[in-house]
Structure 1
Amino acid sequence: MNRSWQVGTGLVLTALAGFVDALGFVRLGGLYTSFMSGNTTQLSVFLGHADFAHVVLPAILIGGFLGGAILGSGLSILIPSPWATPAVLGYEALLILAALGVGLAIPELGIAAFFMAVAMGSQNAVLAQVKGFRAGTTFVTGALFSLGQKVAQALTRTGPPFGWVGDGAVWAALLVGAFGGAVAYARLELYALFIPAAVSGLLALVAAIFALRHQTMMPEPPAT
C-alpha cells in the first residue's frame, strides 16, 4: 500500500466518520458515535446532575467505541500485514450494516448506536501515521491543533511552508462528510447508513486487491 493510497483512503475514511457521526448526532439528539470527548462530557454532566436515566446511552457509546478500538486493533495485529486493512474495513462495513438492520428492527436508539460506535472505534485501527499527519481517524481535534501548529511554523519559517495541508485536509474531510451525513439523514433517515457501509465495503475490496497483488509480486523463497 503506497502513500497515495494511504492518504486517499484516510481522507475518505475521515469523511465517512463525519457522515456517521452527523447521522448519529441528529438521531441521538446531541450524542456522537465517534466523538467520545463530547460523549464523555455529556456523561459527566448527567452524572453531576444525578440524571441517571440519561447516563446509559453515552456510556453505551463510549463502551462500544472502546470495544471497537480493541477489536479493530486486535484484527490489525493478528492478521498478516497486507490483509489487515481489508479485514478491518470489511468488519466495519458489516458493523454499519448491523446497525442499520438492528435500527430498523428495534427502534430503541441505544442498540443501533452501539454498533455504529463499535464500527467507528474499529476504523481508527485501519491506518497509522502518514508522513506527519494522522489520516483515517474518526476525530480531528488533534489534527486541528496540528494544523494551527504547522501554520505557525510556516509563518515563522521554522517549518515547511505547506506542512499544514495534510492536517487541513483531514479536518475538511470530516466537515464535508458530516455535511453529507446530515443531508442524507434528512432525506433517507436510517437508510442513509447504506452509504458508509458501501464505501467501507468498496475500500475493503480495493484493499484486498492491493493485498493480493502484493502477495503475488513477492519473490518465492529459494528452493532448498
Structure 2
Amino acid sequence: MNRFDRRRQVLAIGLAGMAGYVDAVGFLLAGGYFVSFMSGNTTRLAVNLAGYPATALVPALLIAGFIGGVAAGSVVAARAGTRRKPAVLALVCALVTAAALANAAGHPGAAPALLVLAMGALNNTFQRGGDVAVGLTYMTGALVKLGQALGALLLGQRRAGWGAFLLLWSGLAIGAVLGALAWSHLAGGALWFAAGWGLAMLALSLRLAPEAA
C-alpha cells in the first residue's frame, strides 16, 4: 500500500469496501458462509467435517470457487498486460452483475457461486511481479502491520505508513456495515448496489495510467 500513489490507494480502499459489502451480503444470502473470507469458510469446513459431515460440501465448494476465481482473474490480468486493472475489474463487475440477475430471476443458490468467483478474481487487481501486492478481501496482513506499528510505538520508535493499512481495514469494515444495512432493507436487491460499486471502481481504474507492475 505504501508504495502506491494516492489514486491507487483510493482505488484499493474502495475495492476493500466493495469486498466487505459483498461479503456481508453474501454471508446473509448464503446462510452464514462467506464469499470472500476463506479462512472463515475453512473453519466452517473443519467444524462441519467433525460434527456434521453432510454439510461440509457448501464451504468446500465455496473455497474451490474462490480458487477458481483467483485463477480466472490471474489469466485475465496476464492477458491484459498493462491494462490489467480495468480488465480484472470488468470481470468482477460482470460476475457481480450476473449474481444480481441470478438472484432476481429466482436462483439464489447461483448468486453465492458467482460472488465467490468475483471475490477471488478481485485479488488480482494489484500485482507486483505476478504476485498479489495487496489482498483486498482479507485484512489479516493489514492488521499485522497495525500491530507492528503499535509495538514500535511502545518501544519508543516510529513506523511510517501504518495509516494506509488502517484505512484499508476501515474500508472493508465500513463496506460490510453498509452491506448488512442494505440487506436489511433490500434483501437480495442489495446486490445491484454491489454491481454499481464495481462499475464505479472500474471507471476509477480507467483513469489510471497503464503500468508494468
Shorter-chain TM-score category? 0.7 to 0.9
| 1:79 match: secondary structure | helix
- Going from structure 1 to structure 2, the CA distance change for 1:154 and 1:135 (only over 3 Å counts) comes to farther
Counterparts of 1:29 and 1:200 in 2: how far apart (Å)?
Answer: 24
Q: CA deviation at 1:87?
A: 0.8
Equivalent residues, number: 204
**Which amino acid is the alignment partner of residue 193 of structure 1?**
L
Work out the CA distance in 2 between the residues paired with 1:169 and 1:99.
Answer: 28
Distance in 1, Cα, partners of 2:162 & 2:153 = 8
Q: Shift in Å at residue 108 of structure 1?
A: 4.5
Range with greater deviation from structure 2 (141-150 or 12-21) = 141-150
Provide TM-score, normalisation by structure 1.
0.84
**2:98 aligned residue:** 98
Judge conservation of contact 2:100–2:188 (CA < 8 Å) in 1: yes
1:12 and 1:136 mapped to 2: Cα distance? Answer: 13
Q: Deviations over 1:132-162 (max 9, x none)?
A: xx646111112112210122123324442x4
Deviation, structure 1 residue 55 = 1.6
CA–CA distance in 1 between the matches of 2:172 and 2:134? 11
Q: 1:170 to 1:67 in 2, by over 3 A?
A: same
Q: Report the AA paired with residue 11 of structure 2.
A: T
Which residue is equivalent to 2:53?
Answer: 51
Quick check: 1:65 aligned with 2:51? no
Of the candidates 171, 179, 182, which is equivalent to residue 181 of structure 1? 179
Give the 5 Å matches for 1:45-194: 45-52=47-54, 54-81=55-82, 83-109=83-109, 111-128=110-127, 135=134, 137-160=136-159, 162-194=160-192
Change (3 A) 1:41 1:32: same
Using the alignment, how far apart are the partners of 1:141 and 1:28 within structure 2?
23
1:187 and 1:108 map into 2 onto residues whose CA distance is: 17
Partner of 2:13: 11
CA deviation digits over 1:1-41, x for unaligned, max 9? Answer: x6111100000000100001111112222110100001011
User: Do the aligned partners of 1:89 and 1:204 also contact (CA within 8 Å) in 2?
Assistant: yes
TM-score, length of structure 2 as denominator length: 0.88
1:34 aligns with 2:33: no
Q: 1:47-92 CA deviation, whole Å, 9 max, x = no partner?
A: 112431x1222122111111111111111122121x1111111110
**In the aligned structure 2, how far is the partner of 1:183 from the partner of 1:136?**
24
- One-letter amino acid of the structure 2 residue matched with residue 165 of structure 1: G
Matched AA of 2:70:
A
Deviates more, 1:94-103 or 1:201-210: 201-210
- In structure 1, runs of 5+ residues without a counterpart are 216-224
Coordinate RMSD, CA, aligned: 1.9
- Report the identity percentage: 33
Whether the aligned pair in 1 keeps the contact of 2:73 and 2:120 (CA below 8 Å) is: yes
The more displaced of 5-14 and 136-145 is: 136-145
| Structure 1 residue matching 2:34: 3-state secondary structure | coil
